Structure 1
């Protein structure tokens, strides 16, 4: 089977992405070139070449560098993310659940495993089953308008406007509008691998 080499411009892009990502991650970690090279166990000259976009790093050096920066190789080689992004209101994805009686606005423009931020709107009398999230996650529900009932772990909670309910996100749960008018809540799901003291 004949495998074509990618065009030179694509290879140059990957080198530029690598350079930009290393510099951004190194600065975010407050490491000098020398400290990062030492932490990764690679020569500083190798790191300098990588940051200039002129290097041709080995897979071994990429693995060492990724481990030192606490990221995977894909993140080193991907197009750098913009630090800021604006998602206009008409671009926010909206899922309709429970026969259209509940709208879930997906507020996170970036896909990050285990993290979700949703704004949920309930018409009077509506309810919605929540799906258990990844193991080890915690959900924080803030009611913005009205009163939202949350059932989780065999218990029921009434979360009124301004209240915050924290519960294990990996358990079966559900939501219900308890008021006579519309209700609205913000759900934030975060992975918590270690117990909070």
Structure 2
């Protein structure tokens, strides 16, 4: 694995995957990319960032897009490809980072420095978390989780080899409801350290 470290995290909505990723980035002193990836790609172009964020991690609308000779007018698809290129450029540069979503475990599948993680959670815990964060009632939180997870799965399955959430696509899968967000991050951090030791000694 060498000195470079990349942690690609897939997550169910409400599982705390974003927070776990942030804890890991802080723990290892490396960059953190999530929705701020657009801020980095379009630095100084705030209006462009705001417009594109509504198309991020979304699948193509078949009624508003078309493909001609391999080219598409779909903002969703073009943005996805741009993000994949950005992720690979960061990896090729030798930078260490945590990346949330964006099919990173598939985009960086051939990069030996990448540790691929998926975070899930129990429905009850996810609903409670979403209710608290977004000030929603139980039904609203449940519906929000369902919408986001369906959207993420559809987006992921379009661009990735393995199905969203399938253990085949990840090195480690964890249920954050069992230990809580901070303890889950600690366990993953220990796994990362062991991986670095094993590869460093090989």
Q: TM-score, normalised by structure 2?
A: 0.24
Pick 1 or 2: higher relative contact order, CA cutoff 8 A, min separation 6.
2
Query: Which structure is higher in helix share?
Result: 2
Q: Over alpha carbons, which structure has the higher Rg?
A: 1
